[in-house]
Structures are given as C-alpha cells and as structure tokens.
C-alpha cells in the first residue's frame, strides 16, 4: 500500500507540479495512509506541500526495479535473483557505464509502473506511449535512431507470424523491430 501511495504521489507530481493532502485524498488514499507515510519518514509536509524523502525515493525505486524485473522482464519464468547491479549487466545487457542512467530513468517514470507492459504484448491496432527502454547503450541508441524514445506514441500495425518482427507506426513512418527488442520497450497503452 505504501508503494502505491508513493507511485500515486509521483504521478500527481508530474501532472500538477505541487501536491497537497487534498490531491492525494482525491486519488483514493485515506488520511491515515498519508499520515503513516509521513510518520514513517517516506514523505514530508512543508507549508501544505507534500514531498517525497530520500527514504521514500529509495523504497519507490526498489519497488519499480523489482516490478520491472519480476513482473515484466521475467514474466512466466522462474524468478532470477535480483541482488546486484551485476545481474542487470550480465543478464539484461545494460552497460556498466549506463547503470546510473538506468536508475535515474527508472526513478523518473511518470506513471505507476504497474500500468506498463512490454511493447511485445500490445495488440495489433492499439496505440501506446513509450515510457522506458531497458538495455545497454547500443540497444537504446538503435531504438532512438528509429524514433522510439520515451514520450513517443506508436501503434502496432502488424505482427509477422511465427515469432517474426512487429511492424510499427512511429512518428509518421513505418519501422519493424524484432520481438526480443520489442520486449525491452515498456509502453503505457492509450
């Protein structure tokens, strides 16, 4: 419940800029939930404005990392242990030099992480906003050169049969990407 409150706070913060108790209550959280987050040191209130603390940011980042890893990247598989940066480097091909950027981007996701799905799961004909890219410098550079960047709206036009690529409409052009690459692009369906 605390993680959900912190996710909601981040979404409100990106939309409103300044978040108050009333904003959080309108999102469906109780006064007690907010008081618990404040007394627990995860949030603070100054001059009627709510802010997330370093402790709250740490919990939120851990929640997002765990959800991304267990529920999206390793869905349906036996859960791999996520105990170190080395796992991201060895199993998910994120360059050691890009790890801090990876965590910064993970922290800056403007939506509930539970709202995201891999592009691979987006049905034909549906549109989605690109939110997060998982990969090393080479993969992210390749996706950016195709116009697939966070904030971009794209549409799945076709799926080739038998594990073939996906054809996408991106920024008024058509591109094709393989299913492995599509599984590393996290989107929010529109």
Query: Which CATH number goes with the domain that contains 167?
Result: 2.30.30.90
Same domain, 110 and 121: no
**Beta-carbon neighbour count of residue 145 at 10 Å?**
10
Same domain, 130 and 178: yes
Same domain, 48 and 68: no
**Of the residues 114, 142, 158, which one is the last residue of a structural domain?**
114
Phi and psi torsions of 153, nearest 5°: -95, 130
Segments forming the whole domain that contains residue 40: 2-52
**Of the residues 33, 52, 71, which one is the last residue of a structural domain?**
52
**Helix segments in the chain, DSSP class H:** 2-16, 21-26, 31-39, 54-67, 85-92, 99-107, 137-145, 179-182
The whole-model pTM stands at 0.65
Same domain, 67 and 99: yes
Same domain, 68 and 83: yes
Total count of domains within the chain: 3
Output the six-digit token pair for 182. 């599509």
The whole-number average pLDDT for the span 59-77 is: 70
Same domain, 121 and 184: yes
DSSP-assigned beta bridge partners for residue 44: 51
- Write the pLDDT tens digit of every residue in 4-40: 888 888 778 877 888 888 888 888 888 888 888 888 8
Same domain, 34 and 80: no
Same domain, 30 and 63: no
Same domain, 182 and 120: yes
Burial code (b: 16+ CB inside 10 Å, e: under 16) for 72-99 equals: bbeeeeeeeebeeeeebbeebebbeebe
Residue 60 pLDDT more than 90? no
In order, the DSSP letters of 89-104 are HHHH---GGGHHHHHH
Same domain, 120 and 185: yes
Residues 6+ apart with CB under 8 A from 54: none
Residue 66 pLDDT more than 80? no
Same domain, 172 and 119: yes
């Amino acid at each position: 419940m605390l993680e959900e409150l912190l996710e909601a706070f981040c979404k409100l913060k990106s939309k409103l800029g300044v978040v108050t108790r009333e904003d959080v209550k309108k999102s469906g959280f109780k006064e007690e939930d907010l008081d618990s987050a404040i007394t627990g040191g995860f949030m603070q209130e100054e001059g009627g404005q709510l802010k997330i603390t370093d402790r709250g940011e740490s919990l939120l980042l851990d929640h997002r990392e765990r959800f991304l890893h267990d529920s999206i990247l390793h869905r349906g598989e036996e859960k791999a242990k996520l105990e170190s940066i080395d796992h991201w480097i060895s199993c998910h091909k994120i360059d050691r030099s890009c790890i801090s950027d990876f965590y910064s981007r993970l922290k800056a996701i403007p939506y509930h992480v539970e709202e995201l799905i891999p592009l691979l799961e987006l049905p034909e004909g549906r549109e989605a906003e690109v939110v997060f890219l998982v990969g090393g410098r080479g993969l992210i550079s390749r996706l950016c050169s195709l116009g697939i960047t966070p904030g971009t709206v794209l549409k799945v036009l076709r799926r080739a049969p038998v594990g073939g690529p996906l054809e996408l409409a991106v920024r008024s052009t058509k591109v094709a990407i393989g299913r492995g690459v599509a599984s590393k692009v996290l989107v929010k369906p529109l």
